């Protein structure tokens, strides 16, 4: 049996929850779990599972013309990593009031967060734009979870879940609005990028505008290593390249444009080309990183950098609090593990 990935499960949970919030202005846990039992995970292998949450719901604000809302979702997750969390498998657990992993606690936190969450306010704003515009419209909201499609972008697109909105005037088939709100879902994770030893360090150096001959000097890392002796050589090269990178970054931090460059790299790593709103659903609460808050933080923060252990930490010069870091996991042969994680600090989350 494949290992359950709660991050993938949360993508599906958030999709259903957001659909219910759009339809009823609240998230009912019992209704959410009932819908989970109806998700046909077999369809993930060939396409998306589609489900209608509500049709022709009349919504009106005071004496403004009423609108009709249609709400549904489309879902395609990795079937092997959500086993037991949806479909008939979850139906057995649902009837016995059980759940997989820490999902039940995370659902409770997601529901509790709605009154204050930035993602809910963003959705409310979209809804109210229709209710307040003195026009009668038919609005279709479709929440789409397709992490597989996002992976195909090579990391450029960060949104795991997006809300597509399509509107037309009553009595007309003409589209008057079509927009998309992307969300990047996480489940107790501060990692925003998993960098490869060679290509990842080169890309990072390039983003930081560091002039360095590492591409040619360490080109051997771009080719296969076979056998214990070669693997040992590979690890030595990775460690040497990383040590050089750290020196270059610390030196670069003296440049006047260092903070701007570092924030630009971080922004792309967190939000991607689609500027996805980050929602981290944990068993202790919901944390968010919004493009709007990030932009305000960037304007008021000067960054410094230093080595802490084997990690490279970028910190707020005024408060000394970490903004982000490159955390390494370097285990020489026989473990032969070299991983580079880009992780965010507490200061980056929306207050």
Residue 296 placed within a domain:
yes
Give the span between the Cα atoms of 144 and 157, in whole angstroms: 14
**Residue-averaged pLDDT of the chain:** 92
Does residue 52 or residue 180 have the better pLDDT? 52
Handedness of CA 176, 20, 294, 326 (dihedral sign): negative
Residue 1 placed within a domain:
no
Does residue 157 or residue 49 have the better pLDDT? 49
148 and 198 share one domain: no
Give me the mean pLDDT over the 305-329 stretch: 94
Number of folded domains that form the chain: 2
Convert the pLDDT of each residue in 102-151 to its tens digit: 999 999 999 999 999 999 999 999 999 889 988 889 999 999 998 766 66
Convert the pLDDT of each residue in 248-258 to its tens digit: 999 999 999 99
161 and 101 share one domain: yes
Judged by average pLDDT, the poorest of 31-45, 71-85, 122-136, 149-163 is 149-163
Per-residue pLDDT at 40 exceeds 90: yes
Residue 322 placed within a domain:
yes
- pLDDT for the residue numbered 332: 87
Does residue 135 or residue 297 have the better pLDDT? 297
Residue 7's H or E segment, with its range, is helix 6-24
Count, residues in the chain: 351
Per-residue pLDDT at 179 exceeds 80: no
Within 10 angstroms of residue 235's Cβ, the number of other Cβ atoms is: 20
68 and 197 share one domain: no
14 and 105 share one domain: yes
Judged by average pLDDT, the poorest of 83-92, 168-177, 186-195 is 168-177
3-state secondary structure of 83: coil
Per-residue pLDDT at 1 exceeds 60: no
182 and 204 share one domain: no
| Confidence tier at 292 by pLDDT (50, 70, 90) | very high
225 and 180 share one domain: no
139 and 208 share one domain: no
**Boundaries of domain holding 211:** 191-348
Residue 38 placed within a domain:
yes
Give the span between the Cα atoms of 146 and 143, in whole angstroms: 10
270 and 139 share one domain: no
Residue 134 placed within a domain:
yes
Nearest to 164 by CA among 281, 282, 48: 48
Residue 222 placed within a domain:
yes
Cα–Cα–Cα angle for 12, 273, 48, rounded to 5 degrees: 30
Per-residue pLDDT at 172 exceeds 80: no
Convert the pLDDT of each residue in 190-217 to its tens digit: 999 888 889 999 999 999 999 999 999 9
Last residue of a domain, one of 186, 205, 226: 186
250 and 328 share one domain: yes
Q: What share of the chain is helix, strand, coil (3-state, %, to 5)?
A: 40, 30, 30
Give the span between the Cα atoms of 243 and 220, in whole angstroms: 17
Listed in sequence order, the DSSP H helices in 114-209 are 118-131, 147-151, 199-207
Nearest to 186 by CA among 74, 329, 336, 343: 343
Give the span between the Cα atoms of 57 and 23, in whole angstroms: 7
pTM of structure: 0.92
- pLDDT for the residue numbered 173: 61
154 and 201 share one domain: no
User: Using CB atoms within 10 A of its CB, is residue 168 exposed (0-12), middle (13-18) or buried (19+)?
Assistant: middle
DSSP state, 220? G
Instruction: Please name the residues in contact with 17: beta carbons below 8 A apart, sequence gap of 6 or more.
Output: 27, 32, 107, 110, 111
Q: Where are the beta strands (DSSP E) in 77-190?
A: 137-146, 161-169, 175-186
Residue 50 placed within a domain:
yes
- pLDDT for the residue numbered 75: 97
117 and 250 share one domain: no
Instruction: Please name the residues in contact with 232: beta carbons below 8 A apart, sequence gap of 6 or more.
Output: 332, 333
| Confidence tier at 174 by pLDDT (50, 70, 90) | low
Report the percent of the chain where pLDDT is more than 70.
95
Convert the pLDDT of each residue in 223-235 to its tens digit: 999 988 999 999 9
Return left, alpha or beta for 25; rule: phi > 0 is left, psi -120 to 50 is alpha, else beta.
Answer: left
307 and 159 share one domain: no
Structure tokens at 13: 């949970």
């Amino acid at each position: 049996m494949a290992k359950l990935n709660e991050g993938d499960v949360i993508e599906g949970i958030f999709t259903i929850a957001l659909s219910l919030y759009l339809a009823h202005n609240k998230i009912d846990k019992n209704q959410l779990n009932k819908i989970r039992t109806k998700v046909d995970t077999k369809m993930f292998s060939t396409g998306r599972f589609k489900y209608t949450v509500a049709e022709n719901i009349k919504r009106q604000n005071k004496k403004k013309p009423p609108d009709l809302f249609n709400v549904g979702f489309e879902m395609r997750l990795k079937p092997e990593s959500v086993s037991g969390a949806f479909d008939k498998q979850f139906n057995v657990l649902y009837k016995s009031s059980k759940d997989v992993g820490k999902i039940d606690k995370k659902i409770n936190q997601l529901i509790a967060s709605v009154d204050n969450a930035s993602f809910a306010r963003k959705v409310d704003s979209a809804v109210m734009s229709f209710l307040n515009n003195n026009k009668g419209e038919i609005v279709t909201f479709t929440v789409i979870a397709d992490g597989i499609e996002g992976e195909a972008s090579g990391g450029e697109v960060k949104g795991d879940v997006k809300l597509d909105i399509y509107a037309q005037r009553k009595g007309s088939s003409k589209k008057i609005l079509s927009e998309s709100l992307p969300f990047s879902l996480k489940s107790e994770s501060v990692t925003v990028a998993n960098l490869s030893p060679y290509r990842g360090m080169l890309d990072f150096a390039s983003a930081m505008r560091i002039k360095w001959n590492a591409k040619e000097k360490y080109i051997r890392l771009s080719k296969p290593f076979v056998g214990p002796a070669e693997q040992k050589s590979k690890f030595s090269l990775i460690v040497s390249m990383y040590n050089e990178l750290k020196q270059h970054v610390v030196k670069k931090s003296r440049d006047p444009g260092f903070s701007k460059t570092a924030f630009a790299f971080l922004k792309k790593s967190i939000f991607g080309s689609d500027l996805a709103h980050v929602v981290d659903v944990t068993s202790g609460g919901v944390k968010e990183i919004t493009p709007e808050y990030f932009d305000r933080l960037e304007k008021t923060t000067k960054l410094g950098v230093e080595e802490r252990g084997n990690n490279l930490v970028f910190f707020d010069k005024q408060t000394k609090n970490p903004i982000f870091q490159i955390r390494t996991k370097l285990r020489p042969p026989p473990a032969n593990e070299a991983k580079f994680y880009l992780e965010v600090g507490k200061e980056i989350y929306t207050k």
